[in-house]
């Protein structure tokens, strides 16, 4: 699992922030990152996929996890799909790695490029 998490294939550095390709799993028992698969970060959300609730929960999840405002998080594409692209301004790939995967040791982080 650690090698999947470290690859960070789902995260791309862009000017002013990052772009993350995600696969949302709504109506989960808890919210959080469950890994990375097929180039997408798997994010579990307790919110249902109804009336934009899962999208709002996804924005709130990334804002809280990455310590940015909700305005810094936008759904770039896939607003009606489980597969989405999320743009987050004001953070780097290292911020994403360190804040979403704090259990990955520093030595492992450095070797996962």
Task: Summarize pLDDT for 81-94 with one digit per residue, the tens.
Answer: 999 999 999 999 99
- The model carries a pTM of 0.84
What does the pLDDT read at residue 7? 63
What kind of fold does domain 2-101 have according to CATH? Conserved Hypothetical Protein Mth637; Chain: A; (3.30.1200)
Per-residue pLDDT at 2 exceeds 60: no
Beta strand 32-37 pairing with 17-25: unpaired
Domain ranges of the chain: 2-101
Q: How far apart are CA 8 and CA 53, in angstroms?
A: 26
pLDDT tens-place string over residues 46-84: 999 999 999 999 999 999 999 999 999 999 999 999 999
Residue 26 parent element (H or E): none
């Amino acid at each position: 699992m650690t090698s999947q998490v470290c690859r960070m294939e789902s995260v791309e550095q862009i000017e002013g922030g990052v772009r993350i390709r995600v696969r949302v799993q709504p109506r989960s028992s808890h919210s959080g990152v469950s890994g990375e698969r097929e180039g997408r970060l798997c994010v579990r959300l307790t919110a249902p996929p109804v009336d934009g609730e899962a999208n709002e929960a996804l924005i709130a999840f990334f804002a809280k996890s990455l310590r940015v405002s909700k305005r810094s998080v936008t759904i770039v594409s896939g607003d009606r799909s489980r597969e989405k692209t999320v743009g987050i301004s004001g953070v780097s790939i290292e911020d994403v790695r360190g804040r979403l995967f704090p259990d990955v040791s520093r030595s492992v982080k450095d070797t996962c490029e």
